[in-house]
Amino acid sequence: MSFASIVALIGLAFLDASTLSTLLIPLWLISKPGPFQPRRLVTYLVVTAGTYLVLGIVVLTVASHLIDTYLDTLQGPLADRIFIGLGVLVIIMGIIGIFRSRREAKPGPSVITRLRDKALASNTSTATLAVAAIAVEAATMWPYLVAISLIATNGSGLPLDIFWLAFYNVLMILPAIILTWARTKYPTQTDLLLSKTQETMSAAGSTFTSWLAIVIGAGIIVAQLL
């Protein structure tokens, strides 16, 4: 691997570090009020990195010739239409969520809070959440596919290629590891920061997720039109 290839690989890894499974869900789990259980986050991150590593090895050894075709498909006009349709669908779901939340406002824990409590109930449920998140975003994991293609093209053989793949996956979960460490090492400071975030989200009510869905849907559409 050349220096330029390694730099590109690191850049792609940190791009992948900001996705649903590698950052958003860990942040959501870490923000749970009360005693923190780092082993649940460790389970989640190990399963996430391990699953991605297995998928990467499969693609690297069996289906590497399909990567370029897949990436070309993602850049084609059909993919643009599909993503625009997905954006419209997400916006519609957000609008429906806003009307439902106004009509069905109920006291007690929100659905998001109940889902988080369930996800953190056991290592099995946490691992299941990790696999489910990967399954949801697997169809759009183009940075990972580009990284695999980069490794396959510039690598020196399968054993070292797997090493670079593992290196990529460690970098991919590194921000979440740092957040988990900070939550464990400095609970008072992180609790204060996360509690303020939690209060802001609670004050926004259950419409927060619906508005977020609308923003994400609009972002998807704009990204495809530019």
**What percent of the chain clears pLDDT 90, i.e. is strictly above it?**
14
Q: Is the pLDDT of residue 174 over 90?
A: yes
What's the pLDDT tens digit per position in 199-226?
Answer: 555 445 456 556 666 776 676 677 667 6
For the ranges 29-38, 75-84, 113-122, 146-155, the lowest mean pLDDT is seen at 75-84
Give the pLDDT score at 73: 61
Give the pLDDT score at 110: 52
Backbone angles phi, psi at 204, to 5 degrees: -75, -15
Q: Which is higher by pLDDT, 110 or 117?
A: 117
Band (107; pLDDT cuts 50, 70, 90): very low
For all residues of the chain together, what is the average pLDDT?
A: 76
What does the alpha-carbon distance between residue 39 and residue 57 come to, in Å, rounded to a whole number? 26
Give the pLDDT score at 70: 60
Band (99; pLDDT cuts 50, 70, 90): confident
What's the pLDDT tens digit per position in 4-36?
Answer: 788 888 888 888 887 778 887 888 788 777 777
